[in-house]
Every structure is written in C-alpha cells, then in structure tokens.
Amino acid sequence: MSPPTDGSDVYAAASKNQNVPSPRPAPFPSHIHLPGLRPGLDREHAATTHPSPPHRTTFPRARGRFPSPRAADLPSLSPCKPRPRPPATMVLTVAATAADTAEPLNSTFFATRYVRDQLPRYRMPENSIPKEAAYQIISDELMLDGNPRLNLASFVTTWMEPEVGKLIMDSVNKNYVDMDEYPVTTELQNRCVNMIAHLFNAPIKEEETAIGVATVGSSEAIMLAGLAFKRKWANKRKEEGKPYDKPNIVTGANVQVCWEKFARYFEVELKEVKLTEGYYVMDPLKAVEMVDENTICVAAILGSTLTGEYEDVKLLNDLLVEKNKKTGFNVPIHVDAASGGFIAPFLHPELEWDFRLPLVKSINVSGHKYGLVYPGVGWVIWRSKDDLPEELIFHINYLGTDQPTFTLNFSKGASQIIAQYYQLIRLGFEGYKHIMENCQANATALREGLEATGRFDILSKEDGVPLVAIRLKDSSKFSVFDISENLRRFGWIVPAYTMPADAEHVAVLRVVIREDFNRSLSQRLLADINRVVQELDAHAVHAIKMTTAIATQTGEGAEDGAVTKKSVLDIEKEFAEACKDLVKNKKTGPC
C-alpha cells in the first residue's frame, strides 16, 4: 500500500476499498523500472494502457488552476532520478496523486496556495486540502482567541496535569451513552456520583449507591433538577385536585442565566428576590416571603457569581420549615453549588448548606469549575430516590443490569467523566483541600494588594469562592470598563459588569482565582492594574485640557450627511456609556 498521500484522508483514499493484498495483477513487475521512459511518460503510459479502476474525482480544479511542478513538466530533471513512489502502487494511487502534484511535495505550509486562498465561510469548499494545511490554518486563526490561562473571567478549569491529557485523548472517541459497550466508563461515572454525594453528606448508608447523574455542565444539571421539582409539584397538585399550570420558582437576582433559561423553556415563572446595595445575595427572609402554593422550589446559591459569597442556606431552611409547617406547603430547596460545591466541604466543613439540612433535596455542582476538570462536566445529586419522579427516568439495559438515565443530552464524549474520576482519586480530600487553600491565599494576597492602592472598594467577602470583586471609589474620570479594556492589552481578560436589578448602578471588576493562577501571576496582574490606573489618570487630565482644542468627526454624523463635532472627552464618555450599556445587556455573563 502506498503511504497516505497528503491530498486525501486515509479513509477517503480511493484505494481503501481494494482488497488487501490487492488481487489485481500489477501492470508490470513491480521491481522493474523502465529506464527508457521519462518518469512523467511512464505514468501516462500506465494510465492509458491500464485504465485505472473507476476512481472518485480528484482535484481537477486544483490541477487546472495551479500548473503542477511535477517531474513531467520539468524536462531538465534527470530521467534516472528516483520517483517518489514505487511503480507497483502507481495505478492505485494515480488518481490520488493528482492532489499532491498540485503543490510541490516538500514545500512548507506558508509556500503553498492555501495561504492566499480565501477561507470557506459560507459554503463547504469544493476540494480537499492536505491535513497539515488544515491544521495550520485553523491553529493560526485560533491564536487570536484570548489565552484561556489568562482568562480571569471564568471559573472554568484551564489547566490539568499532562497525564489527564493522555487519558482524555484516549477516550475522546468513546461515547458516554453507550453504556452497554463501555461498562467501565459508566462505572466510573457512578463512582463519581457516589463520592460527590458523600462529600455533600447525602443520607446514604455505606456502600449504598447515590442518586445522581453526570451532565455537560451546571446548566443541564439545573434543568434536570428543576424538571424533577416541577414534575413532583405537578403530581402533588394533581393528586390534590388543584390547578397545576402556574408553577413558579424563587431565586435571588444574582443567579446565573441558566435559571432564567430553565424558567423560560420549561414554562415556570421566575420570581427574583431583588438585591440591594451592599447586600449582593438572596435575602432568605424576603425569599421565604415570596414563596406561595405554586412554588416548586427555592434555589439558593453557594458561591454567588457576582461576589463569590455563600447564601445562608441554613437560615433559609429554618425559615422555610416554619413556613411549610404553618401553611402546609411542602416547598423544597435546591442548592446551586456550581462554584462553591467543591470549596465549602474542604475549607468550611462546619458550614451547613448541604444534605444535612432536611429541605435540601438536590444539589448541582460544576465539575469543570473547582472540580478541576476541563469544560464539559457537571453533576446533579438528589437526596433520595423519592425526590426524582420515576416518570422522568429512561431505563437502558446494560449488560443485563438496568441503567437508569436522566439527561437532556445523549451522545457525548466520555473524556470529562474519566478526567473527573482521575482528579477525585489523584487528589483525594487532602489534595483538594490544599488547592482550595492555595486559591484562597492567592485571593487574599490579591485583595490586599488592591486595597493597598487605595483606589478600590472590595465587594467580595473573604469567605466564599476565591474571587476578588472590586469597584472604583471614584469613577468620575474613568470606569472599571476602561480598566477592563486596557488590561486586555497585556493579555488579561478581566470582565467588568454591572450588578443586577436594584443595584445596577454598581459596576464591578471581577477576578476569579483558579488553581493555576499562582502568586507570581497575581503580582504581575497587580502591577498591570496599577499601571493601567495611572495611565488612565494621566489620560483623563490630558483629555480635559484638550476638550475645546480638538474636535472630531463621528461616524454617526456622516451617515445622514450632517457633520457633528464632538470633543475627545465627549467621545470617550459616550464610549464608556456604550460599554456600560453593552455589559448591562449582557445578562448571561460570567460563568
């Protein structure tokens, strides 16, 4: 067999469907080279006297447009120069070689035509290109993406040990839902569920299996949990003969956008507890007040997205127990521990927020946040079987045993689940604890450094998820949006955003501390923030001086023919406002 030519995927090569070894007689003995013929000629000779099998079309366009510099076209080449391919395989590959003759075989990527061809944006290209070229084109374009490691906007894990990389690549072609075919992967998933359930103090006995499922992320987890609450509530209402068409859910206004999504897609009303300045989490008192007979659950957040603060789940539980008793409702609690679920058990083991509280019926946690796995894995755990209505579960038989499944997605890679199991057994309780302590310490150092500049108020709490949220003490000259924009020049991605309803005048800058954000990086960030602040100071002074001196034409004005003159400061103000507006609308935001 010929080696795969660079014009075709091994499996797209026309020769694949030939028998191996090929039963077709070779056109002439493979070891005899016909010395009298020019290399180009003997190829043509072979092609005419032994018509090749009906091959697929190959690269006719490439050939036509780009005269190929193959041997036949270069008469100066010595005829006895060895051909790149032994003649025996020639007939088989003759169709495919048209591809590589379109480009010199040994040219570097940047010497090929692919560098100047336009990329397909709207239509699939007509022809194939070599894999090296495809790799290079895409990888070059991706350089313009932000660097994930410097992305301080997101909790999502960006670094893992190289050993996991190996495990991930080994299992990237395994389909997680083929439980029948990959029983060990399924088993690993079940082990992860058990470990996490125990970590959250689920009331299950030793060796009893927990109820939970791996998801793509906390969004799926929350939708599953919400669906279970909705169905349970509807069943109860049906039994009581009461209407069940107006379910609602009570949360703080600081919830992640996926709650809003859940509400909208599954037709549940979202009742948000408004925030107030200085208090950026859900107030349990107000939340319990909002609960009525149609409330399917109250969702508390362990690790608010905005400030990293834990909500007081214990107080919520106690108040709700009382209310349930008084009214005869049976409103449960869901804890969205997407970011805090892998922190509280290690750093604040005495904090009661999990299944120790009787009303907490389900908890979700993101494996790809402080579970320390690359994006694509979340978990949802139920207190017991009774909290998950049976009609939502689909049963799959696998290897004779029954595997209940409850997911919104079906086929997906198994890598992330295997990586989660790796982290759990590799790190153990001790390892997770050390990492979280490191994160906490780095967060403290960063906070102190920022406080020391005297320009910022710190909004995040010392306990909670390791992040630092700050606001400018004086934002008359420039805003946190300007800082965010300028930090990008150094490579840092630090998002600025306004708080939700009722506190929306507060604009904050948020830095998430992940395990891979070490002390030296945090010192460099501090230095860069200082530098940006000083530059903005200087610039603001400069701009005021120039206010009346320079006027600029704006693009807007040009459109309707009129020319508007605006000062630099005006434009900057406008820009800052525009930025604010943009981010205000960005309801989905940080994750």
Q: Which of residues 266-325 bind other proteins (CB under 8 A)?
A: 266
Q: How many CB atoms lie within 10 A of CB 482?
A: 23
Cβ proximity to other proteins: between 126 and 322 the closer is 126
Smallest distance, other proteins to C-beta of residue 106, A: 18
Smallest distance, other proteins to C-beta of residue 149, A: 8
Q: From the list 237, 334, 361, 412, which residue makes contact with other proteins (rule: CB under 8 A)?
A: 412
Classified as helix, coil or strand, 243 is coil
The number of residues making up the chain comes to 591
Q: For residues 227-256, which are near other proteins according to CB under 8 A?
A: 227, 245, 256
Cβ proximity to other proteins: between 157 and 304 the closer is 157
Which one of the spans 41-49, 56-64, 352-360, 444-452 is the region binding other proteins (CB under 8 A)? 56-64
Smallest distance, other proteins to C-beta of residue 369, A: 8
Smallest distance, other proteins to C-beta of residue 381, A: 13
Biggest CA-to-CA distance, the chain:
104
Q: Answer for the pair 370, 308: CB distance below 8 angstroms, yes or no.
A: no
Q: What are phi and psi of 420, to 5 degrees?
A: -65, -45
Q: From the list 216, 343, 472, 496, which residue makes contact with other proteins (rule: CB under 8 A)?
A: 216
Smallest distance, other proteins to C-beta of residue 181, A: 4
Q: From the list 45, 113, 198, 271, which residue makes contact with other proteins (rule: CB under 8 A)?
A: 198
Burial class of residue 91 (count of CB atoms within 10 Å of its CB; 0-12, 13-18, 19+)? buried
Which one of the spans 78-86, 257-265, 300-308, 439-447 is the region binding other proteins (CB under 8 A)? 257-265
What distance in Å separates the CA atoms of residue 305 and residue 333, rounded to the nearest whole number? 19
Q: Answer for the pair 89, 2: CB distance below 8 angstroms, yes or no.
A: yes
Smallest distance, other proteins to C-beta of residue 185, A: 6
Q: For residues 96-125, which are near other proteins according to CB under 8 A?
A: 119-125
Smallest distance, other proteins to C-beta of residue 586, A: 5
Q: For residues 446-485, which are near other proteins according to CB under 8 A?
A: none
Cβ proximity to other proteins: between 110 and 159 the closer is 159
Token pair listed for 171: 């299992």
Q: For residues 347-366, which are near other proteins according to CB under 8 A?
A: 366
Is residue 575 at the binding interface for other proteins, with CB under 8 A as the rule? no
Is residue 389 at the binding interface for other proteins, with CB under 8 A as the rule? no
DSSP string, 289-302: HH--TTEEEEEEEB
# residues near other proteins by CB under 8 A: 143
Cβ proximity to other proteins: between 178 and 293 the closer is 178
Is residue 374 at the binding interface for other proteins, with CB under 8 A as the rule? yes
Smallest distance, other proteins to C-beta of residue 322, A: 33
Smallest distance, other proteins to C-beta of residue 107, A: 17
Which one of the spans 283-291, 325-333, 395-403, 532-540 is the region binding other proteins (CB under 8 A)? 395-403
Smallest distance, other proteins to C-beta of residue 220, A: 5
Smallest distance, other proteins to C-beta of residue 562, A: 24
Token pair listed for 587: 């309801």
* Closest by Cα among 462, 479, 464 to 580: 479
Q: For residues 13-52, which are near other proteins according to CB under 8 A?
A: 13-14, 16-20
What distance in Å separates the CA atoms of residue 212 and residue 20, rounded to the nearest whole number? 49
What distance in Å separates the CA atoms of residue 415 and residue 166, rounded to the nearest whole number? 10
Q: From the list 50, 63, 113, 191, which residue makes contact with other proteins (rule: CB under 8 A)?
A: 191
Burial class of residue 395 (count of CB atoms within 10 Å of its CB; 0-12, 13-18, 19+)? exposed
Cβ proximity to other proteins: between 149 and 323 the closer is 149
Q: From the list 188, 281, 296, 300, which residue makes contact with other proteins (rule: CB under 8 A)?
A: 188
Q: Answer for the pair 303, 309: CB distance below 8 angstroms, yes or no.
A: yes
The C-alpha angle with vertex 140 and arms to 134 and 141, in degrees rounded to 5, equals: 95
Which one of the spans 28-36, 102-110, 157-165, 551-559 is the region binding other proteins (CB under 8 A)? 157-165
Q: Answer for the pair 237, 295: CB distance below 8 angstroms, yes or no.
A: no
Which one of the spans 213-221, 324-332, 351-359, 542-550 is the region binding other proteins (CB under 8 A)? 213-221
Q: From the list 35, 78, 82, 206, which residue makes contact with other proteins (rule: CB under 8 A)?
A: 206
Cβ proximity to other proteins: between 423 and 442 the closer is 423
Provide the 8-state DSSP code for 71.
G
Q: For residues 513-552, which are near other proteins according to CB under 8 A?
A: none
Cis peptide before 21 (omega within 30 of 0): yes
Q: Can you say how many angstroms the Cα of residue 89 is from the centroid of all Cα atoms in its chain?
A: 46
Smallest distance, other proteins to C-beta of residue 384, A: 16
Smallest distance, other proteins to C-beta of residue 393, A: 10
Is residue 501 at the binding interface for other proteins, with CB under 8 A as the rule? no
The CA distances from residue 442 to 437, 462, 465, in Å, are 9, 12, 12
Token pair listed for 380: 């949802």
Kindly give, in sequence order, each residue whose CB lies less than 8 Å from that of residue 131, ignoring residues fewer than 6 positions away: 6, 9
Site string for other proteins, 164-183 (x = CB under 8 A): xxxxxxxxxxxxxxxxxxxx
What distance in Å separates the CA atoms of residue 20 and residue 96, rounded to the nearest whole number? 18
Provide the 8-state DSSP code for 517.
-
The CA distances from residue 196 to 212, 428, 584, in Å, are 9, 12, 36
Cβ proximity to other proteins: between 163 and 462 the closer is 163
Cβ proximity to other proteins: between 131 and 348 the closer is 131
Smallest distance, other proteins to C-beta of residue 139, A: 6
Cβ proximity to other proteins: between 478 and 497 the closer is 497
Q: What are phi and psi of 87, to 5 degrees?
A: -60, -25
Burial class of residue 557 (count of CB atoms within 10 Å of its CB; 0-12, 13-18, 19+)? middle
Q: From the list 27, 40, 431, 449, which residue makes contact with other proteins (rule: CB under 8 A)?
A: 431
Q: From the list 56, 238, 286, 545, which residue makes contact with other proteins (rule: CB under 8 A)?
A: 56
Q: Which helix (H) or strand (E) holds 232?
A: helix 218-240
User: Which amino acid is residue 538, in one-letter code?
Assistant: A
Q: Which helix (H) or strand (E) holds 281?
A: none
